[in-house]
Amino acid sequence: MRTAKTVDRLRQAVRAARQEGKTIGLVPTMGFLHAGHMSLVDRARRETDLVVVSIFVNPAQFGPSEDFEAYPRDEERDLAMLEEAGVDLVFMPSAEEMYPEGFATYVLQEGSLTETLCGRSRPGHFRGVTTIVAKLFNLVGPDRAYFGQKDAQQVAVIRRMVKDLNFDVRIVACPIVREDDGLALSSRNTYLDSRQRQDATVLSRALFEARAAIEAGQRRAAAIRELVRNRIAAVADARIDYVEVVDADDLTPLEKLQGRIMIAVAVRIGKPRLIDNIQMTVDR
């Protein structure tokens, strides 16, 4: 496994792979890897010849009061996991490498995809996401890029950016990886103490109960939102940011459940802000 900390070294490595006719898979991460990230790596290994993983805690997608400085980092552990998984190249740039002095060009996506859900409560977040992902696509030129479905809004935003800016890359969304008790894996889970860790399972339990209600015939989005809110609100330490029932493709709010839908939640359990979602296809 090779590592690159500069744009020049990264470009040299991917250029050589291209000259050999290899297909390239990109897995963008912010490090502190877990089984969810490794499922993306595994998919990339199966589908492409050269797997590139980026590790970069992107300051542009954190707000002033968010956890950029405290975000968990463990470079040595991450590299050991990636080497064991058979990753070919790891890109680990500094903030100065990605945003050098005088940097002034950002990718701004307008419209409903970035104005709802996390975009509503985290102003500027998706400008940081689209900018860094566009830079990575430009530098790596991947055939496929792999993202986790836990960040469903991010996947939708990136897919729209790829379409609008004519990036020649296929976006592959991989299923959420969960603990045995249903908690969606997240690097921020490390912030939870033992009691909060148990409380956090309310997110998935509420979502699974909502899915069961839909499977039993419930078609009113308002009823599903109320069900999920009530279940989460019953946990004393839980503070709801949002509970939404939306179209799974364009993220517009729904009144009646039909077609591909997503139930998405963002909840603070103590200090950590956790997100989760489920998607399903609903018949009339």
CA distances from 136 to 32, 38, 45, 129, 197 (A): 19, 19, 19, 11, 34
Catalogue the active-site residues: 37
Q: Which residues of 65-80 are buried (b: 16+ CB within 10 A; e: fewer)?
A: eeeeeebeeeeeebbe
Q: Is 8 in contact with 94 (CB distance < 8 Å)?
A: no
Rounded to an integer, the average pLDDT of 191-207 is: 97
> Quick one: 216 exposed, middle or buried, by C-beta within 10 A (0-12, 13-18, 19+)?
exposed
Rounded to an integer, the average pLDDT of 84-111 is: 98
The answer to whether residue 281 scores a pLDDT higher than 80 is: yes
In the chain, % of residues over pLDDT 70: 100
Q: Which domains does the chain have, with CATH numbers?
A: 2-174 (3.40.50.620), 187-277 (3.30.1300.10)
In the chain, % of residues over pLDDT 90: 99
Backbone angles phi, psi at 100, to 5 degrees: -65, 165
The answer to whether residue 156 scores a pLDDT higher than 80 is: yes
The model's confidence at residue 279, banded by pLDDT at 50, 70 and 90, is: very high
Up-side HSE of residue 193: CA atoms within 13 Å toward CB?
Answer: 4
Q: What is the pLDDT of residue 16?
A: 97
The answer to whether residue 42 scores a pLDDT higher than 80 is: yes
Rounded to an integer, the average pLDDT of 185-214 is: 97
Which residues make Cβ contacts (< 8 Å) with residue 130, sequence separation at least 6? 106, 107, 108, 109, 157, 158, 161
Four-CA torsion 22, 23, 26, 32, nearest 10 degrees: -50
Q: What is the pLDDT of residue 115?
A: 94
Question: Whole-number mean pLDDT of the chain?
Answer: 97
The model's confidence at residue 284, banded by pLDDT at 50, 70 and 90, is: confident
Q: Is 266 in contact with 118 (CB distance < 8 Å)?
A: yes
Identify which of 262, 284, 217 has the alpha carbon closest to the alpha carbon of residue 118. 262
The model's confidence at residue 233, banded by pLDDT at 50, 70 and 90, is: very high
pTM of the predicted structure, to 2 decimals: 0.97
273: DSSP letter: E
178: DSSP letter: B
